[in-house]
Amino acid sequence: MMKRLLITIPIFLCITLKVKAQNTGCAEAVAQLQNYAAQINQFYYNEYWTIIPNVRCPAFDQWGRPFHPLMVQNCRNQTLISLNQWYGQQCIYINNWYNQIVRGCSVQPQSPTAPTPAPRTVTGTDESAQINTDQIKELKAGIDESKAVKITIPKTASGYRPRQ
């Protein structure tokens, strides 16, 4: 079990799913970032719910005999600490990456042929002071409206059958 644990740490550190934001415009850069974050989340989720309890620190050996509960608990705690440390590093990396995108987009020169209407100004946050939203209007896809259904309060006590 300890061997598995020792293997775990380098695995976390060696995961390199990096998808760099290249010279691809703000929209694509954010999409890449979100894709990367989704991969990280998926990896974490798999580790947390499946790999650690069933593979790295199982409660039973291959013959179905239980390991000592304290040993299992210790293994899981140690592995989870490693996983969380790795995840924390990824969070910092993702946040830095996001800040780079924001900085890059906020200074991006506006094309003379670009449409001019300014996006709705967001108030009530400290964001408006830091990011010129006029400069990032490329980032306009938003929720995929073809798939998203408007949330409404049902008119009947049991509720409608949801629209597909």
Please report, as ranges, the residues that interact with other proteins according to CB under 8 A: 27, 30-31, 34-35, 37-38, 40-42, 44-46, 48-50, 84, 87-88, 90-92, 94-95, 98, 102, 119-122, 124-127, 130-131, 133, 136-137, 139-145, 147-162, 164
| Cβ-based nearer residue to other proteins, 68 or 99 | 99
Rounded Cα distance between 80 and 58, Å, is 13
* 73 conformational bin, left if phi > 0, alpha if psi -120 to 50, beta if neither: alpha
Radius of gyration of the chain (CA): 23
Rounded Cα distance between 39 and 20, Å, is 14
From the CB of 107, what's the least distance to other proteins, in Å?
Answer: 14
| Cβ-based nearer residue to other proteins, 113 or 164 | 164
From the CB of 57, what's the least distance to other proteins, in Å?
Answer: 18
From the CB of 84, what's the least distance to other proteins, in Å?
Answer: 7
Query: Could you give the count of Cα atoms lying within 13 Å of 64 in the half-sphere of its Cβ?
Result: 0
